[in-house]
Amino acid sequence: MFPGFVPAYIRPLFCEGKGPFRWAALSGDPNDIAVTDAVIAEMFPNNSGLQRWLRLAKEKIAFQGLPARICWLGQGEREKAGFAFNELVRTGKVKAPIVIGRDHLDTGSVASPNRETEAMLDGSDAVADWPILNALVNTAGGASWVSLHHGGGVGMGYSIHAGMVIVADGTPEAAARLRRVLRNDPGMGVIRHADAGYDIARDTARAHRLDIQERLK
Amino acid sequence: MEPIEQLEPIKPITMYDAKKYATPTGNQLSCKSWIQEAALRMLLNNLNPEVAERPDDLIVYGGRGKAARNFEALDNIIKALKVLENDESLLIQSGKPVGILKTHPDAPRVLISNSQLVPHWANWEHFGELEKKGLMMYGQMTAGSWIYIGSQGIVQGTYETYAALADKHFAQPITRNPQPVTTSSEPATRNSQPATISSLKGTLNVTAGLGGMGGAQPLAITMNDGVALIAEVEGWRIDKRIETKYLDEKFTDIDAAIDQALKYKKSGTAKSIGVQCNAVHLLERLVERDIIPDTLTDQTSAHDPLIGYWPHEVSQEEAKIMREADP
């Protein structure tokens, strides 16, 4: 039997808090996305996969509806990007606020034993406490809207998952919310995978001060 | 098995009105702050006909994933977002606004719960009954939470999967520096130079199916610098993918397609080729010619025996007649 695409290729990314980070320009102006693309490219010069994606996405992907961009960013990277976008709004480098969100298929926001949480190291595939904690912590942290869903991707009875969206409107209050939410949201994924015994996640948790054991010493 | 497809879609009472539901753009607010405004614009963006699969049914993507329960609920969500104060939160229960409660400025402006059922009743049958009574809505993932952005998400996810695969199996010593996209005049600082670079350059990636999900594959493969060779039974799907620049070339002759793919593999050219044939016939020919692809995947809808699966022993015309006459 072949393992599914998540355990084989996506889970190591999840362990680093990486997942489908996305944002849209509320102005409707494609140039606002070009400005954000340049900021992201500058922020992560060593990530060759990301560089190639940004270059080619610009060339090959037509916008549908509000101009938007997606790229996979990890723990520490998302909060950095969110803060930078808030600065773009504050300083008028983009024409209107930027809305930031992600898919529910992400590191800390889904329990789906046939797909995202297939074959977890500790057998915790069907444990749905994690997406529920994710929705709760994003509510407490001040995300702009938070959702808790059932049955997405694989159908009724097979998944529980949470969504999160946060707006960068250029205010200092938004900056504080962005720092919290874009740290905690992928952080839940790092914690979830560290708890399941993945070494990469344990290293990421230590590096980003998410390891509860450090606090209990 | 895709249980999603078994339910009949509910007939729309109202049709989607492109003018009424057009997404506001620009920097003027129609709500009391940018957070409510963002929710309003992203809700309407999810239903934009450029984005949504079936706006008339409020279906955004993924079979029957909806943005609002019905048109009355949609109108009420829009009204609610416009009156919502900066210290209140709007509650959405399976696509219907059910309350506006006092919270505080740092709290979420909208709290959403979609399609939740007590575990014992968590099946399509019971959900279908509740949906028929107008009590529930299927929110999929980003449909009911108002953050779907179209097919870019699928392309990116597939790109990321192939990139991770290249990392694991085809890492090469670095031969060139990737050129970052930047508008800054300052040189990009590099504190750690990776010792290897991974891509699909010089690899042959064989797959099948150019529908909604599979259509992302040729682009995801060529974006990773690989060669894609893809079997698709239906010629119009190949043409459509070439039109939108997701796919580069079309062949009807299997051997000619294989020859062309091998030529690109040898020269390390990132190109994608669609060949109009059944996946089984492409794979049989590859085996006969003793060609082993570097990667092999399947993105057909063969899990759906009636609509998705094309048996290789039957011609497409015959299969079409059989599907309709004797399903």
Over residues B123-180, the pLDDT tens digits come to 999 999 999 999 999 999 999 999 999 888 888 888 888 888 888 888 766 544 444 4
DSSP per-residue string spanning B203-234: -EEEEE--STTTTHHHHHHHHTT-EEEEEES-
Kindly report each contact of residues B231-237 with a partner whose C-beta sits within 8 Å and lies 24 or more positions away, as own/partner: B231/B206, B231/B207, B231/B275, B231/B277, B231/B278, B231/B279, B231/B281, B231/B282, B231/B283, B232/B208, B232/B274, B232/B275, B232/B276, B232/B277, B233/B276, B233/B277, B233/B278, B233/B310, B233/B316, B234/B276, B234/B316, B235/B276, B237/B210, B237/B211
The pLDDT value recorded for residue B191 is 36
Task: Specify whether the backbone of A170 is left (phi greater than 0), alpha (psi in -120 to 50) or beta.
Answer: left
Q: Give the confidence band of A48 by pLDDT, cuts at 50, 70, 90.
A: confident
The pLDDT value recorded for residue A2 is 67
The pLDDT value recorded for residue B170 is 85
Q: Give the confidence band of B2 by pLDDT, cuts at 50, 70, 90.
A: very low
Mean pLDDT check: name the lowest of A156-165, A170-179, B135-144, B241-250: B241-250
- Nearest CA-CA partner of B275 in B249, B302, B296, B295: B249
Over the stretch B23-40, which tens digit does the pLDDT of each residue have? Answer: 999 999 999 999 999 999
Q: What 3-state DSSP class applies to A105?
A: coil
Residue of B nearest to A162 (CA): B141
pLDDT at B194 over 50: no
- Cβ contacts of B38 on chain A, cutoff 8 Å: 26, 97, 99, 144, 165, 167
The pLDDT value recorded for residue B272 is 95
User: How many Å lie between the alpha carbon of A79 and the closest alpha carbon of chain B?
Assistant: 17
Q: pTM for the whole thing?
A: 0.84
**Nearest CB to B160; choose among A72, A173, A177:** A72
B87-97 average pLDDT score: 98
Residue of B nearest to A70 (CA): B153
Distance of alpha carbon B58 from alpha carbon B11, whole angstroms: 11
A47-70 average pLDDT score: 91
pLDDT at B5 over 50: no
- Nearest CA-CA partner of B208 in B288, B160, B280: B280
Put simply, whether B191 touches A (Cβ < 8 Å) is yes
Give residues 260 to 319 of B whose Cβ lies within 8 Å of A: none
Q: Give the confidence band of A16 by pLDDT, cuts at 50, 70, 90.
A: very high
Distance of CA B1 to the CA centre of its chain: 19
pLDDT at B186 over 80: no
The rounded mean pLDDT for chain B is: 85
pLDDT at B190 over 60: no
Put simply, whether B62 touches A (Cβ < 8 Å) is yes
Distance of CA B82 to the CA centre of its chain: 31
Q: Which of the residues A71, A110, A135, A165 is marked catalytic?
A: A71
Distance of CA B130 to the CA centre of its chain: 27
Residue of B nearest to A142 (CA): B107
Distance of alpha carbon B149 from alpha carbon B323, whole angstroms: 34
- Nearest CA-CA partner of B33 in B73, B96, B74, B87: B87
Query: What phi, psi does A102 have (nearest 5°)?
Result: -165, 165
The pLDDT value recorded for residue B189 is 35
Put simply, whether B190 touches A (Cβ < 8 Å) is yes
- Cβ contacts of B28 on chain A, cutoff 8 Å: none
The pLDDT value recorded for residue A32 is 98
Provide, rounded to the nearest whole percent, the portion of chain A with pLDDT above 70.
99
Active site residue A71: yes
Distance of alpha carbon B115 from alpha carbon B101, whole angstroms: 22
The pLDDT value recorded for residue B178 is 42
- Cβ contacts of B184 on chain A, cutoff 8 Å: 38, 42
Over the stretch B32-88, which tens digit does the pLDDT of each residue have? Answer: 999 999 999 999 999 999 888 889 999 998 778 999 999 999 999 999 999 999 999
pLDDT at A113 over 80: yes
Distance of alpha carbon B262 from alpha carbon A201, whole angstroms: 40
Q: What 3-state DSSP class applies to B168?
A: helix
User: How many Å lie between the alpha carbon of B38 and the closest alpha carbon of chain A?
Assistant: 7
pLDDT at B229 over 80: yes
Strands B59-61 and A160-168 turn out to be: unpaired
Over the stretch B275-324, which tens digit does the pLDDT of each residue have? Answer: 999 999 999 999 999 999 999 887 765 555 555 667 777 777 777 776 66
pLDDT at A100 over 80: yes
**Nearest CB to B38; choose among A51, A97, A163:** A97
